[in-house]
Amino acid sequence: MRTLLSILLLSCSFSAYAGGHAYSSWSTHKWNKLGSVNYRIDTARKNISVTYYSEHSSNTRMSLYLEEITERAYSYLSSHVRLDECANDNVVVYELTGDTLNSRSVLYWYPWRDSSQRLYGAYDSRYTTARNTSAVVIRSDLPTRTKQRILAHEMIHYWYDMCVSGDISRSETYAQTFEGFYR
């Protein structure tokens, strides 16, 4: 599921999760930690620890719909793909402005296709420096329904990464289909 490089990067990590940043280099940013929550995802029979960060000081509303979207994403994926025993990474959710999200120096790990590419969200577990941690990054300057759609897309990537052996890039078709439920 994860490459040898990922294992080496994680084993060399000195930072612990404990509700902190997914990437040690991101701790230098003045993003607000809005809190940590444990969700019970009944269909997956898993508890997921989620920590929220935002560039804004006000509380994000994403926590109001993350649990429901995560539950539905697992159900959708399990009805289309044979799932193995799932890993259980912590999740760190970042709500960042479009300028920050599309900064090549901030999302240094993202496989940018070209200089004009713009993102609305991203998922990563390969390059996080905190052990057993996945990151979901979503643009904060979008309407709620659009953020829900992007979160739905990224949570399919999360579940595929946690529960399916193989290349995570194969999850893109499922992610695109599932996000359609939030249009």
For the stretch 145-154, pLDDT in tens is: 999 999 999 9
pLDDT of residue 12: 31
- Residues contacting 58, CB < 8 A, separation 6+: none
Q: Which pTM value belongs to this model?
A: 0.85
Residues in the chain predicted with pLDDT less than 70, given as ranges, are 1-19, 57-60
Q: What is the pLDDT of residue 78?
A: 96
pLDDT given for residue 13 in this prediction: 31
In the prediction, which pLDDT does 8 show? 26
For the chain, the structural domain boundaries read 4-182
Sheet holding 90-96, edge to edge: 32-41, 46-54, 90-96, 133-139, 121-124
CATH topology of domain 4-182: Glutaredoxin (3.40.30)
Looking at residue 74, its pLDDT comes to: 96
Give just the sign of the alpha carbon dihedral 87, 92, 93, 96: negative
